[in-house]
């Protein structure tokens, strides 16, 4: 279970990095396309097909953000119940809440661009939290905390 | 006690003091507490493999004249479960047809195909009507009976034709699974309706419309007034994006319209895409009509763009300058119509920062009914929230807080004066399209309209905007009331308007595989 927890936590962190790459890849492609005379308005955004190849970046960003990362965070939370490590659930909850906040900020960014800026900032918090969650499990494993305390601690006299 | 035993691990500890079995039970319980509601929501979101729109969602009787509908008073807001399928409504959508004894004035044969098209140098998997996209323009004079014979030659999913903006009899509305079955390969269907409203319209498939319209299964329909038009040149500009390629009338280039200096030109712009676009001109123009209805006393427009929502139409009048130059009508920044002497070029005018506000444009005129005393009032609140639609998790569009298929079926009676409050809190623009009726805008964000009556069938509702619109329930049947970003429709942004006592013999999915979205 701990391995699963670690893997999921690191996967969340990896996905955050992938998200950052995808969205910048999209904007770089958009910039190049506009430089070449491409026009982006809502009609173009909502059309079928890809006016420039990097459109895939924003589509993948959406699928990752709406489905994959929340799914990973939810699995992390469920797995955390079975790791028998104190704090594992707390950090899984923190990661999960940050994922939800991230999605909300992403959506709100359509209305309030400043929320989009916070979406970028929250991504760093989520990345950090996911890395920390994974690392502390590794640290916990290194000192053998999976052993019940009654076996490792002498009775208090 | 040893020093070793007092050491605490740096990052975590076991859950001391809790019996192992209890810990496992708690963990399982917590898992169930998370998974069970999700499973329930997932299960509840699934739709039957075959269903009638009559059993979808819930009946919304609105606020207003409900006393005799069993709602108990005029002030409440009544909702109820859908009628069971074995209740016996008196009328079917198929009953609502044009006079079968009347001879057609305009006859058109349309053949739909699935084929490759080259647009702007790109090869596109497309849908065509009579071998082209857009299909042939249908022109009629006001009052004429149009008869269109549709043959589906090769569109695998089947097709229908919906007459966007024309208040046709319900059986002719062309919505697969609601007013007819999708026409399979080799199948035929005949549409007959009287073109009572002069104006600019279009037709498109309403079977898998998300893909078929994007792929080109549409065409233009123009109904000229009995008295003719005041302009010397009449031209249509149908904007569409094929696989990312912006076009006018199917060509990825500017549309050149020859016209003499001093001539007035009517440019009928139709937006067949999924999102709004801006339209503006060099010099000035007049907005003659919106969604097929004339603006009353339109004034000259300088330095403003006209917002043309998805599915919407705008008729602009421009005058060719006397100095030998031309007028350029930008249909978004990507495409343009150039009107004037052949060969004359015009630089693209900069896009105005301000949009023409139709709330105050033109002069007031009688509506033909009194919307200040509606007999029914509905809410169409658009939101967006996480949940499941058809078993898929996501951030989905909601109507009045609920997700597809738990959407309202607005119930009206013939003769009702209906006011609908549309509010958009979803963060994205929605082009709202009610079939079979024209609606007049009463107010936006609570500010009353003071210009010409602003009639729409496709209304651009931007984020954080609200509209109050009114219409007369004068076209009985069952009508879609949906977002004309057809992707959004496919994602569940679909409600219906039904006249009390109506039913449909058609089914969504089923043997004809009807998929109207």
Q: Residues B494-507: what's their mean pLDDT? A: 94
- Answer whether B464 touches A (CB < 8 Å): yes
pLDDT (mean) for B71-85: 47
| Residue A70 in this model has a pLDDT that exceeds 60 | yes
Q: Per-residue pLDDT for B8 more than 50?
A: no
Residue B265 has a CB neighbour count (10 Å cut-off) of 23
Q: Do A139 and B384 touch (CB under 8 A)?
A: no
Mean pLDDT of chain B: 91
- CA–CA gap between residue B219 and residue B202 (Å, rounded): 6
In 3-state terms chain B splits into helix, strand, coil percentages (rounded to 5) of 10, 45, 45
- The pLDDT assigned to B82 comes to 54
Q: Are A137 and A9 in contact (CB under 8 A)?
A: yes
DSSP category for residue A64: I
Instruction: Determine, for residues A139 and B5 on separate chains, whether the beta-carbon distance falls below 8 Å.
Output: no
Yes or no, beta carbons of A110 and B1 under 8 Å apart: no
Taking residues B195-217, what's their average pLDDT?
A: 97
pLDDT tens sequence across A4-39: 999 999 999 999 999 999 999 999 999 999 988 888
Residue pair B517/B274 in contact (Cβ under 8 Å)? The answer is no
Task: With beta carbons less than 8 A apart as the criterion, state whether B498 and B492 touch.
Answer: no
Distance from the A26 Cα atom to the nearest Cα atom in chain B, whole angstroms: 15
- Confidence check: pLDDT of A148 > 60: no
Q: Do B12 and A50 touch (CB under 8 A)?
A: no
| Segment 124-153 of chain B within 8 Å of chain A by CB | 124
- Provide the pLDDT confidence category of residue A146 given band limits of 50, 70 and 90: very low
* Chain A interface mutation, best of B5, B11, B248, B383, highest count of A Cβ atoms under 10 Å: B11
- Report the 10 Å Cβ neighbour count for B19: 9
Is the distance from CB of B209 to CB of B485 less than 8 angstroms? no
Asked whether the predicted pLDDT for residue A149 surpasses 50, the reply is no
Q: What is the pLDDT of residue B393?
A: 85
Contact B301, B283 (CB under 8 A): no
Is B183 within 8 Å of B229 (Cβ atoms)?
no
Distance from CA of B120 to the nearest CA of A (A): 12
- Cα separations in angstroms, B370 against B167, B365, B410: 20, 12, 21
DSSP state of A82: T
On whether any CB of chain A is under 8 Å from the CB of B277, the answer is yes
Rounded distance, CA B121 to CA B113, Å?
Answer: 21
Strand partners, B502: B91
A14 phi, psi to nearest 5 deg: -60, -40
Q: Would you give the end-to-end CA distance of chain B in angstroms?
A: 73
Backbone angles phi, psi at A138, to 5 degrees: -65, -45
> Cβ B241–A44 below 8 Å, yes or no?
yes
3-state secondary structure of B102: coil
Give CA–CA dist A9/A74, Å, rounded: 11
Average pLDDT, stretch A125-134? 97
Per-residue pLDDT of B402-454, as tens digits, reads 999 999 999 999 999 999 999 999 989 999 999 999 999 999 999 999 999 99
Q: Does residue A84 register a pLDDT over 90?
A: no
Q: Is B141 helix (H, G, I), strand (E, B) or coil?
A: strand
Q: Which chain A residue has the Cα nearest residue B33?
A: A78
What is the mean predicted confidence (pLDDT) over A74-92? 93
The HSE-up count of residue B49 (CA atoms within 13 Å, CB side) is 3
**Residue of higher predicted confidence among A70 and B78:** A70
Q: Using a CB-CB distance cutoff of 8 angstroms, which residues of chain A are in contact with residue B429? A: 42
β-strand pairing of B145-152 with B106-119: parallel
Entry pTM: 0.88
What number is the average pLDDT over the span B26-30? Answer: 90
Q: What is the mean pLDDT of chain A?
A: 87
Closest residue to B10, CB basis, from A52, A70, A143 = A143
State the Cα–Cα distance between residues B44 and B452, nearest whole angstrom: 46
Chain A residues within an 8 Å CB radius of B276: 41-43
Contact status of B33 with chain A (Cβ, < 8 Å): no
What does the pLDDT average to over B91-101?
A: 93
Q: pLDDT tens-digit profile of B314-355?
A: 999 999 999 889 999 999 999 999 999 998 989 999 999 999
Rounded to an integer, the average pLDDT of B46-74 is 73
Point out the residue among B6, B31, B241 whose CB comes nearest to the CB of A47.
Answer: B241
| A48 secondary structure, DSSP code | S
More confident call, B237 vs B51 = B237
Give how far A73 is from chain B: nearest CA, Å. 12
* Cβ-Cβ contacts under 8 Å, A88 against chain B: 12
B158-183: average pLDDT: 97
- B214–A146 CB contact, under 8 Å: no
pLDDT at B399: 97
With CA atoms as reference, report the closest residue to B277 among B194, B167, B339, B351: B351
Quick one: A156 exposed, middle or buried, by C-beta within 10 A (0-12, 13-18, 19+)?
A: exposed
The pLDDT of residue A43 is above 90: no
In terms of Cα–Cα distance, which of B200, B212, B207, B216 is closest to B179?
Answer: B207
Asked whether the beta carbons of residue A84 and residue B427 sit closer than 8 angstroms, the reply is: no
In B243-371, DSSP assigns E strands to: 245-248, 255-258, 264-271, 277-281, 284-290, 293-294, 300-302, 304-308, 313-319, 327-331, 335-340, 354-355
Residue B166 contacts A where some CB pair is shorter than 8 Å: no
**Cα–Cα distance for residue pair A137/B246, rounded to 1 Å:** 53
Quote the pLDDT of residue B87: 53
Compute CA distances A58 → A21, A61, A64, A71, whole Å: 10, 5, 10, 19
Question: How many Å apart are CA B143 and CA B125, to the nearest integer?
Answer: 37
Q: Looking at residue A45, what is its pLDDT?
A: 84
Put simply, the answer to whether B246 touches A143 (Cβ < 8 Å) is: no
For residue B156, give how far its alpha carbon lies from the nearest alpha carbon of chain A (Å): 19
Q: Which residue has the higher pLDDT, B38 or B2?
A: B38
Q: Which residues are paired to B442 by β-bridges?
A: none
From A32, A35, A42, A144, select the one nearest A85 (Cα to Cα). Answer: A144
Task: Read off the pLDDT of residues B352-368 as tens digits, 9 standing for 90 and up.
Answer: 999 999 999 999 999 99
For residue B452, the model assigns a pLDDT of 98
* Contact predicate B378/B420, CB 8 Å: yes
Cβ contact B289:B295 at 8 Å? yes
CA distances from B20 to A137, B26, B377 (A): 20, 10, 60
Cis omega (within 30 of 0) for bond into B405: yes
Do B220 and B137 touch, CB atoms closer than 8 A? yes
Question: In angstroms, what separates the C-alpha of A53 from chain B's closest C-alpha?
Answer: 11
Distance from the Cα of A11 to chain B's closest Cα (Å) equals 20
Interface test with A, best of B5, B8, B14, B22 (most A CBs within 10 A): B14
Q: Rounded to an integer, what distance in angstroms lies between the CA atom of residue B124 and that of residue B111?
A: 19
Chain pair A-B, CB pairs under 8 angstroms: 146
pLDDT value, residue A15: 97
At residue A88, the 3 state secondary structure works out as: helix
């Amino acid at each position: 279970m701990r391995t699963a927890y670690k893997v999921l936590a690191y996967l969340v962190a990896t996905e955050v990095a992938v998200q950052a790459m995808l969205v910048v890849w999209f904007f770089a492609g958009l910039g190049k396309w506009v430089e070449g005379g491409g026009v982006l308005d809502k009609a173009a955004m909502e059309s079928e097909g890809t006016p420039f190849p990097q459109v895939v970046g924003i589509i993948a960003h959406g699928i990752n953000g709406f489905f994959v990362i929340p799914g990973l965070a939810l699995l992390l939370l469920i797995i955390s119940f079975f790791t028998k490590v104190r704090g594992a659930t707390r950090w899984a909850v923190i990661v999960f809440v940050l994922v939800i906040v991230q999605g909300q900020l992403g959506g709100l960014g359509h209305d309030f661009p400043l929320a989009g800026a916070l979406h970028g900032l929250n991504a760093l918090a989520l990345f950090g939290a996911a890395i920390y969650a994974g690392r502390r499990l590794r640290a916990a494993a290194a000192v053998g905390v999976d052993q019940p305390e009654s076996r490792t601690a002498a009775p208090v006299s | 006690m040893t020093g070793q035993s007092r050491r605490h691990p740096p990052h975590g500890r076991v859950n001391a003091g809790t019996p192992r079995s209890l810990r496992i039970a708690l963990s399982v319980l917590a898992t169930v507490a998370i998974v069970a509601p999700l499973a329930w929501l997932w299960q509840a979101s699934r739709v039957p493999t075959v269903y009638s729109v009559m059993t979808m969602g819930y009946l919304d009787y609105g606020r207003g004249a409900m006393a005799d509908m069993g709602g108990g008073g005029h002030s409440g807001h009544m909702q109820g479960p859908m009628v069971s399928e074995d209740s016996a409504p008196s009328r079917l959508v198929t009953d609502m047809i044009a006079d079968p004894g009347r001879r057609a004035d305009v006859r058109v044969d349309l053949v739909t195909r699935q084929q490759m098209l080259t647009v702007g140098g790109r090869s596109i998997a497309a849908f065509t009507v009579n071998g082209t996209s857009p299909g042939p323009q249908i022109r009629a004079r006001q009052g004429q009976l149009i008869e269109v014979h549709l043959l589906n030659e090769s569109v695998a999913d089947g097709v229908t034709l919906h007459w966007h903006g024309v208040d046709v009899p319900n059986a002719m509305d062309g919505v697969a699974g609601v007013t007819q079955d999708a026409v399979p390969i080799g199948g035929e269907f005949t549409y007959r309706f009287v073109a009572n409203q002069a104006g600019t319209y279009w037709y498109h498939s309403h079977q898998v419309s998300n893909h078929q319209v994007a792929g080109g299964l549409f065409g233009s329909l123009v109904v000229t007034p009995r008295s003719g038009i005041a302009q010397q040149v009449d031209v249509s500009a149908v904007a569409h994006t094929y696989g990312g390629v912006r076009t006018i009338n199917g060509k990825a280039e500017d549309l050149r319209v020859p016209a003499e200096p001093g001539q007035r030109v009517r440019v009928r712009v139709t937006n067949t895409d999924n999102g709004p676009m801006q339209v503006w001109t060099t010099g000035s123009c007049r907005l003659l009509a919106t969604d097929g209805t004339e603006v009353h006393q339109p004034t000259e427009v300088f330095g403003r763009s006209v917002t043309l929502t998805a599915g919407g139409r705008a008729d602009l009048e421009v005058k060719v300058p006397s100095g030998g130059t031309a007028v350029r009508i930008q249909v978004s920044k990507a495409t343009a119509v150039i009107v004037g002497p052949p060969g004359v070029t015009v630089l693209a005018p900069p896009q105005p920062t301000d949009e023409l506000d139709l709330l105050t444009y033109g002069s007031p005129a009688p509506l033909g009914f009194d919307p200040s005393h509606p007999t029914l009032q509905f809410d169409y609140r658009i939101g967006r929230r996480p949940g499941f639609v058809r078993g898929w998790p996501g951030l989905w569009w909601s109507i009045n807080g609920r997700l597809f298929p738990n959407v309202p079926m607005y119930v009206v009676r013939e003769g009702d004066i209906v006011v609908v409050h549309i509010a958009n809190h979803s963060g994205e623009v929605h082009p709202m399209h009610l079939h079979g009726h024209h609606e007049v805008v009463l107010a936006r964000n609570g500010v009353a309209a003071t210009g010409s009556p602003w009639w729409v069938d496709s209304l651009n509702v931007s984020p954080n905007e609200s509209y109050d619109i009114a219409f007369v329930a004068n076209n009985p049947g069952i009508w879609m009331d949906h977002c004309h970003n057809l992707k959004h429709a496919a994602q569940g942004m679909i409600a219906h308007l039904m006249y009390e006592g109506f039913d449909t013999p058609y089914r969504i999915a089923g043997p004809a595989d009807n998929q109207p979205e």
